[in-house]
Amino acid sequence: MTVTVKPLKDGFGAEIAGIDLSRPVGGEDRDAVYGAFLDHHLIIIRGQALSAEQVTAAARIFGDKLEPHLFEHFHHPDTPLIMVLSNRVEDGKPKGMADAGSFWHTDVSYKPNPAKATMLYALEVPDDGGDTLFCNLTAAYEALPEAMKSRLDGLRAVHDYAYLPRDVFTSGKVTPPPDCSQPLIRTHPETGLKAIYISPAYIVRIEGLADDDSEALKKEIYDHCLHDRFRMRFKWRTGDVVAWDNAALMHSATTKELDPAKPRTLWRATISGGPVF
């Protein structure tokens, strides 16, 4: 086995070395990558040079089934299983989605079977700006007082992709899926660890509570989870591959703050998951 795993200093995440994702990954190397993904919630593999086919093959390390993004107009020209994130404009048209979610969210939480994992591959990134923020919802749960754990246990929230208004929804270009209900506390299907399962950009309300009480509890949860001790900022390098566990983390892009003159292009693959418990 050639893979080495080096945990980051921020309390979660690990950098993996000794692997070339342009070649098939199997055996102990594949097990090591997936084990690090489960143990550290987020993994970084530097210095890759990948085709679209190699990106989808690498994404399958984290799950057999990949799913296309709802925004078909930003699919990669070679495969709908990759979404292009880019602020470049070519021939007067955007090359990809310029702002891939500059708000805190958990990918595809608005579907009954949300994304298990997300993987991004950086083709070009600026020297400054375009970072991605991550929040450790497993650590946030573990730090809750026992009384709050008991209070949240059994509560459910309604997730709606169109909760934050977007032009593609209001124009009818994209039809969002129906909203769905998810538990506020979820148990990881493989590690058994519990996490606060929130997606501030998509949670409309907490079921069974009056509107004012729902908003107050949402704010209390968000304020707790977004404390600095549960957060990290990831600075991209060209050739980076980053994959994270959506059962343990939420994230936010910072692309709204990025100078449009600074090119940033990433490819995104989404690994399908199962129902949340």
- The CATH number of whichever domain residue 53 belongs to comes to 3.60.130.10
Q: Domain for residue 166, yes or no?
A: yes
Q: Does the global pTM surpass 0.95? A: yes
Contact (Cβ atoms closer than 8 angstroms) between residue 246 and residue 274: no
How far apart, in Å, are the Cα atoms of 21 and each of 29, 85, 103, 148, 242? 11, 20, 30, 43, 12
β-strand pairing of 132-136 with 231-234 = antiparallel
Q: Domain for residue 257, yes or no?
A: yes
The whole-angstrom separation of Cα 234 and Cα 132 is 5
Q: Domain for residue 277, yes or no?
A: no
pLDDT score recorded for residue 59: 98
Closest CA to 159 of 101, 210, 218: 218
Tokens standing for 213?
């009480």
- Find tokens 């969210």 and name the residue: 105
Q: Domain for residue 42, yes or no?
A: yes
pLDDT score recorded for residue 166: 87
Instruction: Give the bridge partners for 105, in sequence order.
Output: 251
Contact (Cβ atoms closer than 8 angstroms) between residue 76 and residue 52: yes
β-strand pairing of 14-17 with 42-45 = parallel
How far apart, in Å, are the Cα atoms of 55 and each of 69, 167, 185, 266? 15, 29, 32, 11
The whole-angstrom separation of Cα 89 and Cα 98 is 9
The residue range of the domain holding 134 is: 4-272
Q: Domain for residue 164, yes or no?
A: yes
pLDDT score recorded for residue 167: 87
pLDDT score recorded for residue 1: 59
Where the chain has pLDDT below 70, the residues are 1
pLDDT score recorded for residue 259: 93
Task: Count how many domains the chain has.
Answer: 1
